[in-house]
Amino acid sequence: MEISNIMKYLVMLAVVAVIGVSVNLVHESKVLSYLSSDPKVCINCHPMLTYYASWQHSSHRDRATCVDCHLPRDTFLHKMMAKARDGYHHSLAMTLKSYGYNLRISNDAAKRIQDNCISCHSEIVSQMLTNSKLYQKTADSAVQMGRRCWDCHRGLPHGTMRNLTATQNNFSGR
């Protein structure tokens, strides 16, 4: 056999190996499942079990999934861009185990959640704004505007968890 034929076979073997490793990585990481809106996708990562288990027992379970609250709902492109950006940050944190016991929301994600709360509860929010204007008498008794919904509604939809160990082992399976 000539050297050039051996090199061709080695190159083909290397290409097949790279394709095989890539296919295995896609399969093992369940990367295609992230295109779905199924809440079970969120528990592909171990730290999310606590949030999933608490959401299952919340009033939002039958009305809103993870993506309804955590991703933009204006366009498909914005939704996929946010999913990709969050997924990158999540996978980095999970790989490096840098998330700790208390997950913190980014400013971008907090804005998305706030916008989605207001979108779903627009009637009650507009009533609150109207009431705050009607009954605002002094600075001391005024309703504080500009707060996030979860400043008052802390327990929705994930309960009053202290950290990721709060509902440890309460979820029986995937």
Q: Let me know if residue 7 belongs to a domain.
A: no
Backbone phi, psi, residue 156, to 5°:
-105, 140
Asked if the structure places residue 75 within a domain, the reply is yes
Q: Whole-model pTM?
A: 0.71
CATH code of the domain containing 64: 1.10.3820.10
122-141 pLDDT tens trace:
998 888 888 877 776 555 54
Dihedral class, residue 136 (left if φ above 0, else alpha if ψ from -120 to 50, else beta): beta
Joined together, the tokens standing for residue 146 give: 């500009």
pLDDT value at residue 109: 92
Q: How many domains does the chain have?
A: 1
Give me the torsion for CA of 12, 18, 24, 29, rounded to 10°: -160
Q: Give percent of the chain with pLDDT exceeding 70.
A: 85
* pLDDT digits 0-9 by tens, 4-46: 889 999 999 999 999 999 999 888 878 778 778 888 888 877 7
Q: Is the residue at 44 inside a domain?
A: yes
Q: How confident is the model at residue 47 (pLDDT cuts 50, 70, 90)?
A: confident
Q: Calculate mean pLDDT across residues 69-78.
A: 92
Position 16 in a domain = no
Kindly state whether residue 168 falls inside one of the protein's structural domains: yes
Q: Residue 165: which of 83, 50, 72, 76 has the closest Cα?
A: 50
Closest CA to 71 of 82, 62, 85: 82
Report the chain's mean pLDDT, rounded to a whole number: 82
pLDDT: is 97 or 10 the higher one?
Answer: 10
Is 63 within a domain? Answer: yes
Dist CA 96 CA 74 (whole Å):
32
Q: Is residue 24 part of a domain?
A: no
Domain assignment of residue 158, yes or no:
yes
Give DSSP secondary structure letters for 87-113: HHHHHHHHHHT---SS----HHHHHHH
Contact 164, 47 (CB under 8 A): yes
Give the structural domain span for 48.
Answer: 30-134+145-174
